[in-house]
Amino acid sequence: MLFNSFEFLTLTIASFAIYYLSIFRRYQVQILIVASLIFYGYANPKLLLLFLFSVLINVISSYSVVYGKRSTQKTVLTIGVIFNLSILAFFKYSPLIGSTFFNAGNGIGAFLIQIPLPIGISFFTFEGITLLVDAYRGRDEAKSENLVIPSLGTHAMHTTFFVAFFPHLIAGPILKAHHFLPQIKEKFFKDIPWEFCYRNLVTGYFLKMVIADQLSQHTFWIQYPYFEVKSSIELIVLLFGYSIQIFADFAGYSLIALGIAGLFGYKLEKNFDFPYISTSFSEFWRRWHISLSTFLKEYLYIPLGGNRRGPFRTYLNLFVTMLLGGLWHGAAWSYAIWGAFHGCALAIERFVKDHGKQKDKAMPVFMNILSGLLVFMFVTFAWLFFKLTNISDVVKYVAAIFNNTHVAPSMSSIAYVLMYSLPVIAYHLLYLSKNLMPDVLRWSNFEAYAHGLMLFMIVTNSGISGDFIYFQF
C-alpha cells in the first residue's frame, strides 16, 4: 500500500477519525495495531503469518530476558537474536545462495530462488533485535519496566504496536525500543504538533511525488541494455539524477512517516539530515539513513570492539560493519560491494585522520568544498551498485561512459534531469548557507511560501506513481 495511494489515504483518515474520540481513547493502541496489520497485509495477507510469528517470538524472548531466571537471560537473548537473523537470512538471502552455489534450474537451487521476500523484513527483524538487546541491557534498571512491563498481555500488545506501527513499517526509520516504547500512552487531539506534521508531510510528498517520481521517468535508462546507446555526458547526468532520486525517494518516505506518526502523537527519529553537504564519509553516515547507521554503530560496530582494540581492529570493524550493512540492503553481491566501497572509504579516512599532522586545524573553505564534491562523487558512483544489481552491468555502464564520447547527447533529457534535481540542490544549499544569510533572507521568512509552492506542485506536477525504492529492502 503506497503512501500516495487512495487506499492508504482512506486507511489513515479512518484511523485518525476514531483515534481521538473519547470513547475510543483507551483503545488507541489497538486501533493502530489493526490499521497497521491492514496496511501490511493489504497486498498479500499470507505475509501476516510470518510477521505475527516473528512478533510472537520477540514478545516471549524479551519478556524472558527481563523476568526469566538470571542464569538463562543471556541464553534467551542469544537465541532471540539468532532467530531474528535466521528469518532475515532465510527469506532474504536464500535466492542469492541458490543462484550462487546451486543449480537454479532444479533441486535445492530451484527451491531457494523461489522463496518470496516479505516486504519490510529487514526493518522489522532489526527492530526485534533492538527490543531484545535494549531489554537485556536495561533489565536491572527501573526503566526496563517501560520496555518490558510486568503484564505479559500488555507487553505483547505494546511489542506488536512497536514493530507494526504503519508509518515506519515498510521502510523505516528503524525504531529503537528504548526510544519508542516509553511513548506509549494516551494521546490527545490538542497535543498534535500540526506545524511539524504539515511541514514534514508536504516536503516528503513533494520529494517523492514531484522529484523522485519525475526523475524515475529518465533514470530508467540506466538499466541494461538501454544505457549502451546513451552519450557519455548523458550517462553521467543520469547517474547524478539517480543520486538525487534515491535521496528524494527515501528522505521523502521518512518525512512522510514522521508527519503521519506525529498526527497520532508519536515522535519518530529523524532519518536524514542534508547528507549531500557532507565533507567526509563519516559525516555522510551521520546524515544518511541515520536510523540504520546508528543501529549498525550501537548493535554491531561497538559490540565488535569499535575503536577500543587498536587501529587495525578499528579499520577492520568499520569495513565489516559497512559490508554487512550493504548486504542488509539486498540479496545481491552488488550490495556487498557497495558496502565494501563505503567500508574502505571509512577505514581509509580514519587512517588518514589518525596519521594526519593537522588533526585539530580547520580546513580552508575551498578544501571543504573540494572534499564535499569528492564525497558526493564517490557516493553517487557507488549508487550504481544499487541501480544495477548485476555487477557485469556496472562494468558495462562505466565502459559506456568512456566509450560513448562520440554519441550526441539528448539535451532535453539532460535539461529534464537537471531541472528536477535543482530543488534538492537548493534544499541542501539553503541549509548550508543558513548561518551566512542576513536576517532579511532567512529561510524562515520564505518557508511558508515554499511549502505552499510545494503543495501546488504536488497537485499539478506529480510524476507517475511508483514504489518507494527502499520497499525492496
User: Which tens digit of pLDDT belongs to each residue from 313-352?
Assistant: 999 999 999 999 998 888 889 999 999 999 999 999 999 8
Q: Which residue has the higher pLDDT, 154 or 307?
A: 154
Distance, CA of 83 to CA of 198 (rounded, Å):
39
Average pLDDT over the chain, rounded to an integer: 89
432: enclosing H helix or E strand: helix 411-432
User: Is the predicted pLDDT of residue 466 greater than 90, yes or no?
Assistant: no
Task: Read off the pLDDT band of 430 (50, 70, 90).
Answer: confident
Reported in sequence order, the residue ranges of 328-378 that DSSP labels E, i.e. its strands, are none
Q: What is the mean pLDDT of residues 37-60?
A: 90
Q: What is the mean pLDDT of residues 225-240?
A: 94
Query: Which residues does the annotation mark as catalytic?
Result: 329
Distance, CA of 186 to CA of 204 (rounded, Å):
27
Q: What is the pLDDT of residues 361-414, one digit of tens each?
A: 666 778 888 999 999 999 999 999 989 989 999 999 999 999 999 999 999 999
CA 21 to centroid of chain Cα atoms = 33
pLDDT at 5: 82
Q: Which of 32-36, 447-451, 464-468 has the lowest mean pLDDT?
A: 464-468
Q: Distance of CA 294 to CAs 248, 283, 299, 462, Å? A: 21, 12, 8, 33
Q: Which residue has the cell 505494546?
A: 158
Neighbouring residues of 274: CB distance < 8 A, sequence distance ≥ 6? 287, 427, 428, 431, 432
State which amino acid sits at residue 166: F
Distance, CA of 324 to CA of 143 (rounded, Å):
31
Q: What is the pLDDT of residues 150-208, one digit of tens each?
A: 889 999 999 999 999 998 887 778 888 888 999 999 999 999 999 999 999 999 999 99
Q: Are 44 and 61 in contact (CB under 8 A)?
A: no
Q: What is the pLDDT of residues 261-297, one digit of tens each?
A: 999 999 999 999 999 999 999 999 999 999 999 999 9
Q: Distance of CA 329 to CAs 131, 142, 173, 326, 427, Å? A: 21, 36, 14, 5, 26
pLDDT at 142: 45
**Euclidean distance between the first and the last CA atom of the chain, given in angstroms as a whole number:** 15
Distance, CA of 265 to CA of 246 (rounded, Å):
28
Q: What is the mean pLDDT of residues 10-30?
A: 94
Number of Cα atoms under 13 Å in the Cβ half of residue 316 = 8
